Structure 1
Amino acid sequence: MMTDRNGLIRLIFDRLHGFFGPQNWWPADTPFEVIVGAILTQNTSWKNVARAVANLRDHGLLSFEALCAVPEPLLAELIRSSGYYNQKARKLKAFCRHVCETGHAGLDGFLAQDTDTLRSELLRIRGVGPETADSIVLYAAHKPSFVVDTYTHRVFSRHGWVQESPSYDELRGFFMDCLEPDVGLFQELHALLVRTGHLFCRKTPRCGGCPLEGLRAGTAAG
C-alpha cells in the first residue's frame, strides 16, 4: 500500500519529470569514471570536474589500473581544475589502495558487494563521505542507495516536507524508507532534484515558473 510520503515523492517526481524530461545522469562511460567524478565533484561545480576528467582521459588515466600506477603529484596536476586538487589526488589514491589491499577481485569484485556492505566499506575510505559513497553505490555499482545533496535538502526543507535541518541519514531515510529499491527511480529523482535546485531552488530562490510552485506541506496536491 502506498504511504502518503510515497505518494508525495511520486507526485514530485511526476511534476519534475514532466517539466524537465529524463536526465540520464551520471555522465560517464564506465563505473570507474563515475567514481572519479564522484570524488572530484566534492566542493566544486560539474563544469570543473568535466575538465579534470577530460584531462585524465587525454592522458590515458581513466582506468582503475592506470590511476593506481600514476604518481600522486602528477595526478594532482592533471585534476587541478577540480579545486582542492592535492586533497582530491590523495582521496583518489586512497580509494585505489583500499580496493587493492582489501582482497577484492579488482574493482568489479569491489562493486559487486551487496548494497549495505559496499556502502559501509566506502565510508571507511579516507575522503569518502556519505554523499560520495551513495553516488558510487547508485551510479557506479547500480545498487539502490539514494543520494542526498545540497539541492535535495534545500528543495525539501523549503517546501516544508522535512524539518529545517535534517541530518544526512535522516533525509536519506526519508526516501529509503518509503520507496521501493528502484535504481532507475533513485537515479532520475536525484538528477531531477539537482536540476530543480540548480535552476530554481538556489540560495536566493526563483520560485516563479518552478514545476513545484504551490506544492508545499499543508497545501492541496494537484
Structure 2
Amino acid sequence: MTQNTAWRNVELAINNLKAANLLAADKLASCAEEQLAPLLRPSGYFNIKTKRLKNLCRFLHEEGFAKLHTMSTGDLRRRLLNLNGIGPETADAILLYAFERDVFVIDAYTRRIFSRFGLVSGNETYDQLQDRFEAALDADAAIYNEYHALIVQHAKSFCRVQPRCGDCILRMECKFVNK
C-alpha cells in the first residue's frame, strides 16, 4: 500500500482495515474486492492495490507462514517476486520485517539521503545499492531493521523532497546543503 503515496494516507487505509477487522492474511484473502477497495482508497491506486494485496495474502495464507519461514531467503524472495505486484523493495521489506531475514531494503528515502550526502550517485540499480549496504553492515536483520527505520525517520523529518536542511543535525556533513 505504500507505493506512490504518502505514509499518512497508508495509515488511513490501515485504520480502515483495523476498523473492518481485516488485519489478517486469511481475512484479506477472502474479502470481496468490492468491500476491500473502498477501505484502501486513501492509499491511492486502490483497485490495483486491492488485487495485489489479495494476491499476497492468498499466497501467505495458502502456503502458511510456518512453511514459508522454513524456506531459504533466496527461495522465498524468488517466490515473492513471482507474485503480481511484488517488486524487489516490497519482497525485501517482507523478508526483513515479516520474516526477520538479513536483507537490506532499498527505497526512495535511502536513495535520496545517500545521494544528497554524495555517497551514491543515485543511478545505481536496486541490487547494486543493496550489495553496497549489505557489504558495509553486519548481516543482521535487527541491524538492518533499525538502520532502515532510522533512514526512513530522517527522510520523513528532515531530508524530504523539499528538505529542511536548516533543522538537520547532519547538515555539516551533507553535500546537498553545502554546495
Q: 1:58 aligns with which of 19, 28, 36?
A: 19
Alpha-carbon offset, residue 175 of structure 1 = 0.8
Structure-2 separation of matches of 1:203 and 1:216: 15
Structure-1 separation of matches of 2:70 and 2:43: 29
Bigger relative contact order (CA 8 A; separation at least 6): 1
- 1:169 matches 2:127: yes
The equivalent residue for 1:212 is: 170
Q: Which amino acid aligns with 2:23?
A: L
Structure-1 separation of matches of 2:24 and 2:32: 14
Structure 2: tracts of 5 or more residues without a match: none
Structure 1: tracts of 5 or more residues without a match: 1-39, 218-222
Alpha-carbon offset, residue 66 of structure 1 = 1.1
Q: 1:89 aligns with which of 15, 35, 50?
A: 50
Percent identical among aligned pairs is: 43
Root-mean-square deviation (CA, aligned residues, Å) is 1.8
Residues 41-120 of structure 1 mapped to structure 2, 5 A cutoff: 41-99=2-60, 104=63, 106-120=64-78
Alpha-carbon offset, residue 51 of structure 1 = 1.6
The equivalent residue for 1:129 is: 87
- 1:159 matches 2:159: no
Matched-pair contact (CA < 8 Å) for 1:64–1:107: no
Structure-2 separation of matches of 1:137 and 1:192: 18
TM-score, structure 1 as length reference: 0.73
TM-score, structure 2 as length reference: 0.89
Alpha-carbon offset, residue 153 of structure 1 = 0.4
Q: Which amino acid aligns with 1:95?
A: L
